[in-house]
Chain A
Amino acid sequence: MFDFLQGYDVLGAFWTTVKLTVVSALGSLVLGTLLAAMRVSPVPLMRGFGTAYVNIVRNIPLTVIIVFSSLGLADIFGVTMGASDNFDVQGFRLAVLSLVGYHAAFVCEALRSGINTVPVGQAEAARAIGLSFSQTLRLVVLPQAFRSVIIPLANVLIALTKNTTVAAAIGVAEAASLMKTMIENEAQTVLIAAVFAFGFVVLTLPTGLVLGWLGKRLAVKR
């Protein structure tokens, strides 16, 4: 029944999906944390930038962002991410850039809700003993904030995993791209879709379970 799978590197395609997910997750975690710090900082200019970034980027469809990164940035403006001679590498890097830029907005908002769970008194106390803004954030607020938003962040991660399929639009050889190839060659639409759906469940279900369990364990009891 599954002999149509022969001759296709399904695991390799999912491996690209995993790489795309992990790299983009790390990138969006860093950028998202920076944005969250901006949005709660005492400097109006930074607050304004953070707010504008989040509100603009999260309201643009990811497909538009990814296709623009390739058609606009790479093809017209010549931004090739250091890989002008290899479209496979270029596509991967452009996809990471887009996924990071897009999901950072969601990480930022999840994290900001976590920051809001930390009682104001904690920040006031930190300021009172002479910590600077960045010290307060790093040592007092963020560690507590992260512990309370593990589950929302898990949701962002799961969404990110599935959103990697949009990268097929610019030819990144991940799972959705191989699915298109297989549907073109084999007349087995339903079975092929089922195989790839199963693949994504295998990737995302454990993520949800593990991070859900971790989130419950580490939550700050108040």
Chain B
Amino acid sequence: MKLRKAAAASAAVLALAATATACGSSDKDDSGSSPSGGGKVKVGIKYDQPGLGLKQPDGSFAGFDVDVATYVAKELGYKPSQIEFIETKSADRENALARGDVKFIAATYSITDERKQKVDFAGPYLLAHQDLLVKKDANISKATDLNGKKLCSVTGSTSAQNIHDTIAPKANLKKYSGYSECIAALQSGAVDAVTTDDSILAGFAAQDKYKDQFKLAGLKLSNENYGIGVKKGDAELEKKINTALEKMVSDGAWKQAVEKNFGPAKYQYEQAPKVGVIVK
């Protein structure tokens, strides 16, 4: 008797679920067809990097990557309201482009030979270097000072591998799953320095809550050429984006964006890189 009740109940639930999914899918079809006429553009950025790509509590986005993406989209003919920002984490960038989830990606995307086999790059639009973020009164002036020091970086990141393999193999490297944890460790004194691209570090240091606590060491341990990723083979879009980037530099919007996002950190940024010139 009990069993039959249970069977009836689960049948009812199944029926409900079926109708619910039916509704859901038809809704999706509706919303799927309308934007193609309205003309939205999907752009991949990061949500968790202050100064570059950060989703703010009110749901808006801020950062240098966001400003560059907005400018490029404008040049491609999209109003800011037509841009839909989508989170593309480091591991997912190639797939998001290949699947067509996003039109282009501006998300601290360093141009490398391995990645060039999977995607095409416009730009570069920023030349960053691996660097250290240290406490304001710290005394680290060259890479060899790092051996024996306590460093922090993110598990799996290129910066962590660089430290381990070439820059300072004897450094004591702590690894977390995100840079926020590293910054917290730096603040509490558990580590002497946090290492990754100087642009990312500058973004953290420029946040209000960390203002005047940290400084960049300025070591230039590597060259990271940030490019805008587009789907492999889409030469037309790549060319349009390159034109947009050149215009952004020449009309001063590039410099304005850099100043706005990194200014408080006193970041010694490089001059705007020339499109197509990759610094090895």
Contacts and interface: CB of A to CB of B under 8 A. Distances in A.
Interface of A: 67, 70-71, 74-76, 85-87, 91, 168-171, 177, 179-187, 189
Interface stretch (B61-69, B168-176, B254-262, B271-279): B168-176
Interface stretch (B33-41, B124-132, B181-189): B181-189
A29 B50 CA distance: 44
B77 to A, nearest CB: 30
A177 B155 contact: yes
Given A70-B176, A185-B158, 20 more contacts: A67-B177, A70-B181, A71-B176, A71-B181, A75-B184, A75-B185, A76-B190, A91-B174, A171-B173, A171-B174, A171-B175, A177-B155, A177-B156, A181-B155, A181-B161, A183-B156, A184-B157, A187-B94, A187-B114, A187-B117
A74 B114 CA distance: 37
Contact of A184 (B91, B172, B175): B91
B94 A189 contact: yes
Interface in B187-202: 188, 190
A189 B95 CA distance: 8
Interface of B: 90-92, 94-95, 114-115, 117-118, 150, 155-158, 161, 172-177, 181, 184-185, 188, 190
**4 smallest A-B Cβ distances: which pairs?**
A171-B175, A180-B156, A75-B190, A87-B174
Contact of B181 (A67, A180, A186): A67
A91 B190 CA distance: 13
A74 B118 CA distance: 41
A87 B181 CA distance: 15
Contacts of B190: 74-76
Nearest to A181: B156
A174 to B, nearest CB: 10
A183 B91 contact: yes
Contacts of B175: 87, 91, 170-171, 177
Given A75-B184, A75-B190, A169-B176, A185 B91 contact: no
A71 B158 CA distance: 22
Contacts of A85: 172
Contacts of B94: 187, 189
Contacts of B114: 185-187
A69 to B, nearest CB: 12
B269 to A, nearest CB: 24
A70 B175 CA distance: 10
A187 B185 contact: no
Nearest to B91: A183
A189 B115 CA distance: 12
B177 A169 contact: yes
Nearest to B98: A187
13 contacts: A71-B184, A75-B188, A87-B150, A87-B172, A87-B174, A169-B176, A171-B155, A171-B174, A180-B155, A187-B115, A189-B91, A189-B94, A189-B95
A185 B94 CA distance: 12
A184 B158 contact: yes
A169 B175 CA distance: 8
Max count, chain B CB within 10 A of own CB: residue among A168, A171, A182: A171
Contacts of A70: 176, 181
Contact of A71 (B117, B157, B173, B185): B185
Max count, chain B CB within 10 A of own CB: residue among A86, A177, A181, A182: A181
B119 to A, nearest CB: 8
Nearest to B115: A187
Contacts of A168: 155, 177
Contacts of B158: 184-185
B157 to A, nearest CB: 6
B126 to A, nearest CB: 20
B234 to A, nearest CB: 17
Nearest to B156: A180
Contacts of A185: 114, 158, 161
B90 to A, nearest CB: 6
A106 B237 CA distance: 55
A181 B173 CA distance: 15
A179 B184 CA distance: 25
A76 B176 contact: no
A86 B150 CA distance: 9
Contacts of A170: 175-177
A79 to B, nearest CB: 11
Contacts of B118: 187
A171 B191 CA distance: 14
